[in-house]
Amino acid sequence: MPEPHPAIEISNLSVGFGEKGLFRNLSLKVAEGERVVITGASGTGKSTLLRCILGFTVPESGEILVKGTPVTGETVWRLRTQMAYVPQEPELGEGLLSQWFEQPFSFKANIHLKGNLKRLPELLQTLSLPTDLLDADLGTLSGGEKQRVALIAALLLDREILLLDEPTSALDKENSLAVVSLLRSQKGLTILSVSHDPHFLDLADSVIPFPSGG
């Protein structure tokens, strides 16, 4: 029986070669269900790597496979339905938080998951967010609240792969540990995260130092 494809496989990836701070010839494998944390100095391209996996940034050379399928202009939309992404500073837009949570489930690809919204109160409580925050205007949320609600939204989509960019950078120790505990409870979920948070590193099956540049 053949071995399963890695959740993410990156081969000889180069981005911004000739520009200070980005990387070249980067290779990385993340197995299904593995939790990998990338660390390293700011400005070396860690966030750009996540954007490459999502197809938002096109590398100069190299290849990215998601569950054995190359990330290309033809495949990227389908592959994104297998991944969820939480940026360091989530842009939530305008309106009420409750409406923001509901919006993704109006799309055809997600409508069958609308019942997951029933998990909202429990997830909010787990991350020390009051349920009346659902009636709050998005513009009033703090940076730490935005990070936690963005993570909750990603989990509600039931994606197989979770990409996180400094997901606890705006949180204190107590709330960072709550995030780590919640992610640890997500069995079978593949996580690739950029983080400098020492509490977050405890989640990792492996910690990978990012190269300092090309």
In tens digits, what is the pLDDT along the chain, a chain of 214 residues? 667 789 999 999 998 855 555 788 999 999 999 999 999 888 788 999 999 999 999 998 999 999 999 999 999 999 999 999 999 999 999 999 999 999 999 998 899 999 999 999 999 999 999 999 999 999 999 999 999 999 999 999 999 999 999 999 999 999 999 999 999 999 999 999 999 999 888 899 999 998 765 4
Name the fold adopted by 8-209: Rossmann fold (3.40.50)
* Residues 6+ positions from 130 with CB-CB distance below 8 Å: 124
Sequence ranges of the domains in the chain: 8-209
The model carries a pTM of 0.93
Query: Nearest Cα to 86, choosing from 200, 207, 205, 173?
Result: 200
Query: Cα separation of 70 and 64, whole Å?
Result: 6
